[in-house]
Amino acid sequence: MGTGSDDTALLTSCPSWARLDALARGFRARGARELFQSAPGRAAAMSCAPFEDLLIDFSKQPVSEEVLDALVALATERGVPAAIEQMFGGEAINVTEGRAALHVALRMPAHASIMLDGQDVIPEVHAVRERMGEFVTRVRSGEEVAADGGAFTDIVNIGIGGSDLGPRMVTEALAPYAEGGPTVHFVSNVDGWDLTSTLANLDPRRTLVVVVSKTFTTQETMTNARTARRWLVDGHAGSEEGLERHLVAVSSARDAAAAFGVSPERTFGIWEWVGGRYSLWSAVGISIALAVGMDHFESLLEGAHEMDSHFRDTPLARNVPALAAMIGIWNANFLGAPTLAILPYDERLRLLPAYLQQADMESNGKSSRLDGARVEGYGTGPVVWGAAGTNGQHAFYQLMHQGTQRVPADFLVAATAEHEHDEHHEILLANALAQSQALMMGRDREAARAVVEGEGGGASLVAHRTFDGNRPSTTMLYERLTPRMMGRILSVYEHKIFVQGRVWGINSFDQWGVELGKSLAKGLLPAVRGGDAPADADESTRHLLGHLRRMRSKG
């Protein structure tokens, strides 16, 4: 299957699509609970262990061997195996922008090779990584000093989207591995409070500012960067002498970075074939490396590469990202469950739901096929949301257990914690296992009646204590959340998103929907500042501008 238009119109005409549609009729009123009763040994049969310290349990998903066979067949009919090779081979699978999507190259070893336009990209990837590693090591050792000769104690990463969410999430997740490095802070929102509150307790003489913007024109990022630059200058008694020692850039726009005051030695490049939400593996991850050290950053890359190899080399029937993708399509397109809750029972992964919101919803939130025709007859990207357990249990789990819609869920659980409070972790683990069990098993009316009567309640309470069950979930169980494991987990989700996009016939690597609002905002800015409303402003926007001006005039 190529990237041309002929294939993209055929999804609902695929033989396996019709087969799955027929199978779904029998599953909409059923789920995994009944499947366990009819198939002893299901848990082992429906689990994958690509590495000895990582288990992915799909057994609580409403799939049988017959359904899985049909899902794998659908992926094959949609050309997923060929698409995997196209991505790893450097083909321009981002067809709307004419680019490759080579984030996998960022975590390949130096002896690997990926050709792009007749040139091997791996040597340049490692050259940038080596420069980055040398700089990181100097900062963490105190060899790279501030303008006054002192060591840096704080790093402020300024970016937005993929230039913020990935590095922020991984830095927090790997906090136990910081080992005395500088404290890293993140600023993304153009709301001035984000930057103000971050800088409030920092010393500009001890702070290194990292500006992450591929083009060095991103409005939110550059507004924050200019304000942070003024803060640095003010903190040095108004002098710009030595300012370059406090600035780092990650950008392909070297001239713009230099004009901002970043020296070429402190500017680290990023390539057009790296999408923002797939960029933490590049120099965009410099703040991760500054926080935890280059060795741990390398381990993060190695873990991702291990999962990349599994994804590329493993048949679809045992391929973890592919199976996760196809089960997601089964839930969304055939069983009427188009959302996904990300539930890490790991406080260090509390930002993972937000990270995956961007990774998934920006990638597959599309209604145009690769050929430009509109998607019809099926939905695309799920609504992704969630929170860390056990906090979520006291917030939205009520809807998951007894609401009128089924919400598929991913549980992420570390067998061993990186702290000494065993009692806490044991309670956390018990809750994770209990929630996934409760979602699947539920409680029937007979059992609910026994509970109510045992508590001395009336019959009217039975319905309220009944749980339908058969709510689907996957559990990802890993020994520890090491940098290597972090890399594997993120790679699973990246490739899952890619497979789903390929099956749906959409481009997972562009984000044109982000552009419209940005361009309109630029047109509205003069009006917000007191000028005339743009000619294309609608009635509601003009009405809001009028009230906005009156309210601001009172300030």
Burial of residue 546 (CB within 10 Å: 0-12, 13-18, 19+) is: exposed
Q: Are residues 204 and 239 in the same domain?
A: yes
Q: Are residues 143 and 217 in the same domain?
A: yes
Q: Which residue has the tokens 């990774």?
A: 359
CB 252 within 8 A of CB 270: yes
Q: Is residue 333 domain-resident?
A: yes
Q: Is residue 510 domain-resident?
A: no
DSSP secondary structure, 308-325, as one string:
HHHHHHS-GGG-HHHHHH
Identify residue 234 by its one-letter amino acid code. Answer: D
Residue 349, pLDDT score: 98
Q: Are residues 126 and 52 in the same domain?
A: no
Mean pLDDT of the chain: 95
The answer, yes or no, to whether residue 184 has pLDDT greater than 90, is: yes
Does the active-site annotation cover 554?
Answer: no
Q: Are residues 218 and 350 in the same domain?
A: no
Q: Is residue 454 domain-resident?
A: no
Residue 432, pLDDT score: 98
Does the active-site annotation cover 77?
Answer: no
The answer, yes or no, to whether residue 7 has pLDDT greater than 70, is: no
CB 116 within 8 A of CB 273: yes
Q: Is residue 434 domain-resident?
A: yes
Q: Are residues 239 and 381 in the same domain?
A: no
Q: Are residues 491 and 528 in the same domain?
A: no
Q: Are residues 400 and 496 in the same domain?
A: yes
Compute the distance between CA of residue 16 and CA of residue 68 in angstroms, rounded to an integer. 11
Residue 554, pLDDT score: 86
For 271-294, what is the mean pLDDT?
A: 97
Cα dihedral: 169, 170, 176, 180 (round 10)? -100
pLDDT in tens, 83-101: 999 999 999 999 999 999 9
Q: Is residue 489 domain-resident?
A: yes
Q: Which of 419, 421, 464, 518 is catalytic?
A: 518
Among 64, 15, 17, 87, CA closest to 504:
17
For 389-394, what is the mean pLDDT?
A: 96
For 474-485, what is the mean pLDDT?
A: 98
For 235-258, what is the mean pLDDT?
A: 97
Q: Are residues 26 and 146 in the same domain?
A: no
pLDDT in tens, 394-408: 999 999 999 999 999
Among 407, 389, 275, CA closest to 341:
407
For 210-237, what is the mean pLDDT?
A: 97
Phi-psi region of 344 (alpha: psi -120 to 50; beta: other; left: phi over 0): beta
Q: Is residue 413 domain-resident?
A: yes
- Mean pLDDT check: name the lowest of 120-129, 476-485, 496-505, 515-524: 515-524
Q: Which helix (H) or strand (E) holds 57?
A: strand 54-57
Extended strands (E) in 63-142: 115-116, 119-120
Compute the distance between CA of residue 385 and CA of residue 4 in angstroms, rounded to an integer. 33
Residue 291, pLDDT score: 98
Residue 27, pLDDT score: 83
| Residue 426's CATH number | 3.40.50.10490
Q: Are residues 175 and 280 in the same domain?
A: yes
Tokens coding 161: 């989207």
| Domain termination site, one of 297, 329, 359 | 297
Q: How many residues does the chain have?
A: 555
Compute the distance between CA of residue 554 and CA of residue 138 in angstroms, rounded to an integer. 51
Q: Which of 77, 172, 362, 494 is catalytic?
A: 362
- Which residues make beta-bridge pairs with 156? 185, 209
Q: Is residue 334 domain-resident?
A: yes
Residue 6, pLDDT score: 45
pLDDT in tens, 409-433: 999 999 999 999 999 999 999 999 9
Model's pTM, two decimal places?
Answer: 0.96
Query: Domain range for residue 527?
Result: 519-553
pLDDT in tens, 293-321: 999 999 999 999 999 999 999 999 999 99
DSSP secondary structure, 13-55, as one string:
GSHHHHHHHHHHHHHTT--HHHHHHHSTTHHHHTEEEEETTEE
| Domain termination site, one of 245, 269, 297 | 297
The answer, yes or no, to whether residue 351 has pLDDT greater than 60, is: yes
Q: Is residue 540 domain-resident?
A: yes
Q: Which of 130, 394, 515, 543 is catalytic?
A: 394
Q: Are residues 51 and 124 in the same domain?
A: no
Q: Are residues 266 and 321 in the same domain?
A: no
Q: Are residues 485 and 534 in the same domain?
A: no
Does the active-site annotation cover 185?
Answer: no
Say how many domains are in the chain.
3
Residue 9, pLDDT score: 53
Residue 3, pLDDT score: 42
